[in-house]
Structure 1
Amino acid sequence: MATKTQGGLKWELIFSLLFILLNSFSSISVQSSPQSYEPTPENLKARQWFQDAKFGLFVHWGIYSILGDGEWVMNTQGIPVKTYEKLASFFYPVYYNPAEWVSLAKKAGMKYIVITSRHHDGFSMFDTKYSDYNVVKATPYGRDVLKMLAEECRKQGIKLGLYYSLLDWHHPDYFPRGATGHRTGRPDHGNWENYIQFMKNQLRELLTNYGQILCIWLDGYWDRREANWH
C-alpha cells in the first residue's frame, strides 16, 4: 500500500510540474505579445494631446437621422436592406453648415470633432469608390459632407477624427453574421476576406483624402469577437 501511495504521489508531482510548466509557457506567450508593439514618438505625442484635450464634439449623422430613431434603427426595427436603402433618396440636408458647426464647437471650448464616416448600417458618409452606397452617389444631395467638414476644420484650426464601423448590416460579404443585424434580409453567404479588403480600401481613402486625421475610432468588433479582423 505504501509503495502505491508513493507511486501515486510521484505521478501527481509530475503532472503538477507539467501543468505549471505549460501554464508558464502560456503566460510568457500572452505577456510577450503586447511587448512586441512599440508606439512611435508621434503616436505617444498624439495620445497625450488627446488626453489633455478632454473636451470634443462627437457627431452621429447618417441616413438613419431621417427616421429620428437613432443609428441602430435598422437593427432594432428589423428593417430589410432594400427598404432601408430607400432612405438615401430622402437625404438632402439643405441646412448643413459645417462652418457653423465648427465655429460653435470652438466657442464651446471643444478641441476636436469626431464624426461617423460609416456606421453599422453600412452607408458611407463620404465619397468612396468602393461602394455606390454613399452620400455622393446615392443621395439627391450629391456632395461629400465629410470633405466639407474636413476643410472647415482645417480652416478654423480644430482637429478632426473619424468613427468607422467594423460591422456592417448592409454589405453582403459581412458573413458569417454576427450578434446583430439578423433581420435585414441579406443573403446567407459571403466572402469574409473580400469584406476585410473592402474596409482596408475605405480606411485608406479616409486617411489619404481628407487631410490630417486626429484618430480613427473602430467600433463593432464585439459583433464577431471570434473573427479574424487582421
Structure 2
Amino acid sequence: MNKKLFLFLAILMMSIACFSQKPNSALDYNEKMSWWRDAKFGMFIHWGPYSMYGGVYNGFNQQRGGAEWIMNRCKIPVMEYRAKASTFNPVNWNADEVVKLAKETGMKYMVFTTKHHDGFAMFQSNASNFNMVDYTPFKRDVIDEFVKACRKYDMKFGFYYSQSQDWCNSGGATARKLMHEGWPNPDSVRINEFTAANRGAWDCLQTDKTFDEYFHSVALPQVKELLERYSDVSVIWWDTPMSITDEQASKLQEELAKYPQVITNDRLKRPNFAGDFKTPEGLIPKAEDIVGVDWETCMNIGSSWGFKSWEEKWKSPYELIKNLTSIAARGGNYLLNVGPTPLGDVPDEAKTRLHEMGKWMQVYGEAIYGTQRSLIYPTWGECTRKDVGNKTVLYLCVSEWPKDGKLIFDANYKVKKASLLNNNSTLKVDRKNRQITIQVPQQAPNKYVSVIKLELNEKLPVSKLISNTAKYFEIVDEQK
C-alpha cells in the first residue's frame, strides 16, 4: 500500500512540475521559426504620448522624421514632455477592436511598442513610474489589454522595446539630431552645441545617471517584467542599439534564454548579436541581400511610425498589396505599421486601406501564407511558391495584367494545371521554346493584383535557410 501511495505521489509531483514550468525547453531553430515563416503578414503599432503632438510643436510641423521622434527633434524639455504625458487619456482605445482589425486584414501576428525612445512605458512598471498606469489619468495597462485581446483572437503577439534610447529616464541613450530637424528654435546654435558636448542629450535631467545605471535600473528590469508576465510572447523587437555593450546585451540574452520560443530581430547589439531575422526598414531588399536568411520589412502605412496629424502620404491599397506579394516572393514578412491617434483610434485612412487588404487576402491568402521564396522574378509581377509532397505549386501574382490575353512566363517547367485562384477556373497553357504561355481573360479578376495558380509535375530545388548572419540593414529612424 505504501509503495502504491509513494508511486502515485511521485507521478503527481512530476505532472505538476511539467504543467507549471515556463516554456524553457530547447527548440530546434527551424521549429521555432516555422509559424513566423508561414505567417508572412503582421501589424506593427507605434503608440505613446507623442501621439498627442501629432508631429506639431509650437505651431510648427516637425521638419524631419517620424512623429514619434518629436521630443528629440524638437528638443522638448524632459519636464515639459512629462507634463504633457501626464494628460494622456486615450478614452477610445479598444484592444479588441484593434486586434480584430488586424485579424480581418489577414495579419497573423502583432508587435506593439511597449516602450519607445521617449521612455514612456505603455504597461505598469515597478522600474519607472513613467508609465500608462501610474502617470496618466487613463490608469489602464494598455499592453495587458493588448495581450488579452491577442489571446482571445488567436493572434501571435510581440513586444517592441527600446533597450538603449530613453529620453525621459536619466542615463538613457539620446541619438543626436540637429535642431533644424524639429522647429525653427531661435536658440538652435546653442542647443546644437549642447547636444554635441553631451552625446545627443539636450536636457541636464538626461545626464544625471550613467547608461549602465539606466540599463540596470530601468531597461533590464522592464524586459524582465514583460517576459515574466507574458511568458507566451512570441517576438521581441529591439531597436537603435546605441550605447549598449556586449556585456549588457548578454544579460538581456540570458533572460530571453528562459523563453526559447521567443524570436528576436537583429537590433539588440551589432554585430555580435545577430538575432533570428533581418530588418530592412521601409524598403523591399534586393534578392542578393537576403540570400538564405529570414527577414522582415517593417513599413509605415503612411509616412510616420507615430500618429501625424498632417499625414498626406498614405500608401494606396495597390501599393500595399503589391508590397506584400513582393516581400512574400522573396521569402520575407511584411510588418505593416499603424499609429493610433491620441484618443486611441486607428486613423480612418489606415482602416480603409487595411479593409481593402483584408478583402484581397480572403480571396488570395493561399498565395501568401506558408509560401517560400521562389527565386523567380517575372516582369509582370511576382511569384510565390509552395511544395506539396513531391510537387511544386507556383502562385503568379500579376500586377500588370496582359492586354493581349497572354501571360508569358520564361520557364520550361512541367505544368500539370493552371487556374485562376479566385474561382479555380482552368486556363489553357502552352509550352514552347522554354517559355510558358497562359491564356488569360481580357479583364483582370482583381483591380489590384490577380493570382494564377500554376501546379507543376515536378519539385523545384529548395532554397535552404541558415540561422542568420552578421550582415545587417541600416536602421532608418526617419521617412523623408
Which TM-score tier does this pair reach, normalised by the shorter chain?
0.7 to 0.9
Partner of 1:210: 230
2:135 counterpart SS class: coil
Partner of 2:102: 105
Residues 68 and 212 of structure 1: CA distance in aligned 2, closer, same or farther (over 3 Å): same
> By how many angstroms is 1:182 displaced?
2.1
Would you say 1:64 and 2:59 are equivalent positions? no
> By how many angstroms is 1:225 displaced?
6.8
Which amino acid is the alignment partner of residue 38 of structure 2?
Answer: D
Which amino acid is the alignment partner of residue 155 of structure 1?
Answer: K
Q: 1: CA distance between counterparts of 2:204 and 2:33?
A: 41
CA RMSD of aligned residues (A): 2.2
Partner of 1:6: none
> By how many angstroms is 1:183 displaced?
1.9
* 8 Å contact kept, 1:169–1:184: no
Which amino acid is the alignment partner of residue 78 of structure 1?
Answer: K
Residues 115 and 224 of structure 1: CA distance in aligned 2, closer, same or farther (over 3 Å): same
Residues 139-184 of structure 1: per-residue CA shift (max 9 Å, x gap): 0000101101101111111011000002111121236x55455224
**Matched length:** 190
Partner of 2:170: 172
Q: 2: CA distance between counterparts of 1:68 and 1:174?
A: 24
* 8 Å contact kept, 1:118–1:165: yes
Within 5 Å, give how 1:66-85 maps onto structure 2: 66-69=52-55, 70-85=67-82
Residues 67 and 42 of structure 1: CA distance in aligned 2, closer, same or farther (over 3 Å): farther
Structure 2's unaligned 5+ residue stretches are 1-25, 56-66, 178-199, 250-480
Would you say 1:119 and 2:112 are equivalent positions? no
* 8 Å contact kept, 2:123–2:131: yes
1:45 aligned residue (31, 37, 50): 31
> By how many angstroms is 1:102 displaced?
0.9
Within 5 Å, give how 1:1-230 maps onto structure 2: 40-69=26-55, 70-166=67-163, 167-174=165-172, 179=176, 181-197=200-216, 198-221=218-241, 223-224=242-243, 229-230=248-249
Q: 2: CA distance between counterparts of 1:172 and 1:189?
A: 6
Structure 1's unaligned 5+ residue stretches are 1-39
1:95 counterpart SS class: coil
**TM-score normalised by the chain length of structure 1:** 0.75
Higher strand share: 2
Residues 170-224 of structure 1: per-residue CA shift (max 9 Å, x gap): 121236x554552244253423332222211111111111351111111121x33
Which amino acid is the alignment partner of residue 111 of structure 1?
Answer: K
Q: 1: CA distance between counterparts of 2:206 and 2:122?
A: 24
Residues 169 and 228 of structure 1: CA distance in aligned 2, closer, same or farther (over 3 Å): farther
* 8 Å contact kept, 2:110–2:155: yes
Q: 2: CA distance between counterparts of 1:151 and 1:105?
A: 15
Q: 2: CA distance between counterparts of 1:140 and 1:117?
A: 18
Q: 2: CA distance between counterparts of 1:111 and 1:129?
A: 31
| Higher deviation after alignment, 55-64 or 181-190 | 181-190
Q: 2: CA distance between counterparts of 1:109 and 1:115?
A: 17
Partner of 1:27: none
**TM-score normalised by the chain length of structure 2:** 0.37
Q: 2: CA distance between counterparts of 1:52 and 1:62?
A: 30
Identity of aligned residues (%): 39
Q: 2: CA distance between counterparts of 1:54 and 1:78?
A: 38
> By how many angstroms is 1:107 displaced?
0.8
* 8 Å contact kept, 1:55–1:110: yes
> By how many angstroms is 1:227 displaced?
7.3
Which amino acid is the alignment partner of residue 138 of structure 2?
Answer: Y
Residues 78-127 of structure 1: per-residue CA shift (max 9 Å, x gap): 10101100122221111111111111111111001101000000000101
Q: 2: CA distance between counterparts of 1:171 and 1:160?
A: 26
